[in-house]
Chains A and B, each alone.
Chain A
């Protein structure tokens, strides 16, 4: 078999090329089989196990990273929940404190009002009692003084007073005592 080359080139036979480079189908086959054997052995005992290990490692790293990412997300959620709970507790505590303060204020005011009313009523009662007692004392004193004045006048005059005299003395004494009493009171 020959290859016809353009004018100016010598025609070159394929057999000559094969001969020059030592191409021999036996050697070609042996070299090919040798290469394929090496590839097969390397694939079986080196490439495949190594790639499998690399894939397994990659998968493990990916799952580890995913786990870490999930955990990070979960931690963020937990932190957020914790913060929300703290904020809620703070708000609730503030509300409780505010309510307690309000209630305490209301209670205090109620107590104050009640106390004031009680004091007022006690004061009024005491005033009434004192007034009643004074009136009683005044009345008794007045009665005693009336008869004392009459007796004293009778002794001074050494005569028995008639009933109309007695009444006149008593009236005069009462008027005098009233004047004295009011004068003292106004002082």
Chain B
């Protein structure tokens, strides 16, 4: 119970510190109400804010996992090992039936890696300091830390790796001819239709295969843009909430038309409302943190699940066909 209280204090404290840091500084807000769609170069040699965050969080992930698992996992798990086993065991129980036991042995490091990496990188955007630690570049100040998945380079790189892995596993498990057959092959029953129609269907299925190829290529685009869009959108949402929070905590509410109308109606009571609104402004970003925790988890899961589905579609489909042919 004490631990839960301590953890809650750390989380809420971190959120509040982040909120206060941004609101007090005001410099980030001065840069505009929305973030740039592309990463900013903050250091020499083209090192961007997302790259710095990526390295720091990657190192933190490795250290965290090492701390949780320990030097050597034991048969009677320690609390950290139990947490890791629960996560990995849960993922395994979901992914293995999708991918198939045969391919799971090859792809599980990548699937687990996607989930852990994307999840913790997404949640890193909620840490104090991300977006609020500034670095002077020329005449302007730029945040040196930014969630990695709000950079399309990172999400596209992971999507391309998933495509390469898909291709490798497809060739490994079904072979080049099997892959060709899966995409372009005539799936009609030869005995069920006239011969000329069966020949004509080759052309149709080849055309369908070309569309399938485009669809496979666009899997990379959809995977990367989905993750990027969600994380970048969430980052923008938090940024805007901080800006609005700053507006409220600096007494912006009293300058609005709404306050003037309230004053006309309520008189002195409007000042009380302005007082409450001013201090509620500090808590404004808080609900959106919970939203982003959920979005971060869902996006990590969706990305991992889709990669598993893409692999499972060809590997398991081939397994089933073999099974049917044998029957």
Contacts and interface: CB of A to CB of B under 8 A. Distances in A.
Contacts of A31: 50-51, 54, 148, 151, 153-154, 157-158
A46 interface: yes
Contact of B161 (A30, A36, A57): A36
A45 B69 contact: yes
Interface residues of A, number: 36
A184 interface: no
Interface string A87-103: 00000000000000000
Contacts of B110: 39
Contacts of B48: 22, 27
A49 B72 contact: yes
B304 to A, nearest CB: 12
A23 B158 CA distance: 14
A35 B117 CA distance: 8
Contact of A47 (B61, B66, B108): B108
Interface of B: 36-39, 46, 48, 50-51, 54-55, 58, 61-62, 65-66, 68-69, 72-75, 77, 81, 84-85, 88-89, 92, 108-110, 112-113, 116-117, 148, 151-154, 156-158, 160-161, 228
Interface of A: 19-24, 26-32, 34-43, 45-54, 56-57, 60
25 contacts: A21-B38, A22-B48, A22-B153, A23-B153, A24-B153, A26-B46, A27-B46, A28-B153, A28-B160, A30-B51, A34-B58, A35-B117, A35-B158, A39-B109, A43-B112, A43-B113, A46-B65, A47-B88, A48-B109, A51-B88, A51-B108, A52-B73, A53-B74, A53-B81, A54-B89
